[in-house]
Amino acid sequence: MSKVSSAIASSSTEQQRCMTSSSAASSVVALSSSTLSMGAVPATWGSGLSIAADWTCVISGRLFQLLWTTRVRRPDEEHTLTNYELGRAPRTIAGVAALDSLAGVIEATGAAYAVLIVDEAVAMTGYAARVANALGDVAFVEHVVPQGEPTVASVNAAADAVRSHPAAVVIGIGGGSALDTAKQAAVVGAGESGVEAYLLCANPFVGRRPIIAIPTTSGTGAEVTRTCILSDADGRKLWTWGDEMLPDVVLLDPTAAMTMPVHVTAATGLDAFVHALEACSGQRRNTLSAAPAIQAMRLVVQHLPGAVADGTNLAARQGMQEAAFLAGTAIDSCGTGIAHSIGHSLGSLYHLPHGVAVSIGLDAAIDWNVAGATDAFAAAAVAFNTSATDIPAVLRELFTATSFSSVVGRMPAASLDASAIAAAMIAVENQPMVANNCRVPSDSERQSLAELTVESWHRLRVST
């Protein structure tokens, strides 16, 4: 039996014993959205003892202190002492009847109008029209965002639409890019400045509009996170962060995910797996956030192959929506790691879609991570009832089960430069991801990881 098949079997057993993907999981979710409380840069690795240290960086001329979790741990300790803070999760309505609640949800916000920020591809499927019909008597305007990941220009355009309707609720409809656009527009549109003023936490937000998130993909978890990604005019992937960007209400409608083509289903679903794995293995990991991460990984392994094989499988679609949601709550508390540093570098340099880029990044880094920080993968081992050293095999068999190589093969040809990737990995916007990884690479190790990234890119394309 393969690692993935074994994981599916053990996952089903463990779900009955520990939690289900519905009621018990939702009780965990309520504890899993946190304030910014980031993991530690270890002072030493070789002795087996790592001691947390505060880490600061200067971003956009403003001292931005990242509050790292204080952690002292030894491999033989049964439990570690950690300091962390968890916040709230949005009100969440899940199921095929989720849209029926929309008009009542808007009424509860007190908004008199709605601004629908819609992914262009989703608008073409007709799903946005279904959302509009569910508004009832609520007047609305629809702002369609271009395909691709958000940019400074596209976010500012959406913010202008929000400014034009000061009493409106903002409804994001689409994948992570549309939701990130909607979340940023809802806060940027409450002020006069463009999103440029808030990049990398340069300034606090001045206000917000109510936000409703309706995801149509199952990967980013943007519906439950307070971090948003966008690119500047030079193509550099940057981010904004703030409590104000956490949606007020999330509607998880599995029929919305049926609009995804196969390659998007696979790439976004793998993104959820990467999120969960990095959240529960990174420096900021903690017991309460490990719970949704573990369940998210189980759900991905259980449902993603089925969603890829049959996009009309509503049970698989709902399972993946739950996986993305849970993984999103985990990274909102614990952050991401080296796979995201690599992935954001690939996005900035070669414009690879996020799910594809971080999956390649994890493929490049997973063996190095596990070899040097095996204990960090204890939660992942629990998820699959296996040993930590088997986690790389679980990942690659999931690649096979979802035909990930065919997804990579669809990408335009690109000549990846390892030195450029290594340099981008420690750009100021990517440094928190590197520092939060279970292992913090030296300069030579970072170069090696970049070279492994190039190898992964070529190997996955050739195996198409």
Same-domain check for residues 212 and 102 = yes
User: Which tokens belong to 399?
Assistant: 């690649």
Shared domain check, 235 and 340: no
Which among 239, 257, 275 is the end of a domain?
257
Residues 180 and 268 placed together within one structural domain of the fold: no
pTM: 0.84
Q: How many CA atoms lie within 13 A of 429 on its CB side?
A: 25
Domain count for the chain, please give it. 2
Secondary structure element (H or E) that encloses residue 94, with its range: strand 91-94
Q: Residue 254 corresponds to which tokens in the numbers above?
A: 């599995």
Say whether both 267 and 396 belong to one domain: yes
Q: Tokens representing 359?
A: 């999956």
Which residues does the chain have with pLDDT short of 70?
1-80, 87, 464
Is there a domain that residue 65 lies in? Answer: no
Residue 148's pLDDT is 87
Q: Are 164 and 193 in contact (CB under 8 A)?
A: no
What per-residue confidence (pLDDT) applies to 28?
Answer: 27
- 49 located within any domain: no
Residues 6+ apart with CB under 8 A from 192: none
For residues 189 and 288, state if they share a domain. no
Could you list the beta-strand ranges (E) of 17-112: 50-51, 55-59, 62-66, 71-73, 81-82, 91-94
Is residue 54 included in any domain, yes or no?
A: no
Stretch (H or E) spanning 299: helix 287-309
In a domain, 270, yes or no: yes
Spatial CA neighbour of 186 closest among 199, 203, 167, 214: 167
Distance from CA of residue 271 to its chain's centroid? 7
Task: Let me know whether 360 and 415 are in one domain.
Answer: yes
Claim to verify: residue 186 and residue 214 sit in the same structural domain: yes
Query: 226 near 241, Cβ under 8 Å?
Result: yes
Distance of CA 270 to the CA centre of its chain: 10
120 and 248 co-located in one domain? yes
116, amino acid identity: L
Q: Distance between CA 281 and CA 380 in Å, rounded?
A: 8
Is residue 129 domain-shared with residue 178, that is, in the same domain?
A: yes
Residue 40 resides in a domain: no
Q: 443-462 and 418-425 are packed helices; what angle lies between their axes, rounded to 10 degrees?
A: 130
pLDDT of residue 2: 65
3-class state of residue 391 by DSSP: helix
Domain end (from 208, 239, 257)? 257
56 part of a folded domain:
no
- Residue at 368 is within a domain: yes
- Which pLDDT does position 464 carry in this prediction? 54
β-bridge pairing 249-252 and 91-94: parallel
**In CATH, what number is assigned to the domain containing residue 148?**
3.40.50.1970
Residues 300 and 272 both lie in one domain: yes
Sheet holding 168-174, edge to edge: 91-94, 249-252, 211-215, 168-174, 113-119, 139-145
CATH of the domain at 361: 1.20.1090.10
Any idea what DSSP says for residue 174? Answer: E
Q: Which of helix, strand or coil describes residue 148? A: coil
pLDDT at residue 1, as a whole number: 52
Task: Note whether 120 and 176 are same-domain residues.
Answer: yes
- Dig out the tokens for 45 from the structure: 């690795």
Structural domain including 273 reads 3-19+263-317+331-462
Sequence-distant (6+) residues with CB within 8 A of 122 are 128, 173, 174, 175, 178, 216, 259
Q: 147-161, pLDDT tens digit by residue?
A: 888 999 999 999 999
- What's residue 80's pLDDT? 62
What integer pLDDT is reported at residue 228 of this predicted model? 94
Q: Which of 237, 257, 277 delimits the end of a domain? A: 257
152 and 210 housed in the same domain: yes
Is residue 252 domain-resident? yes
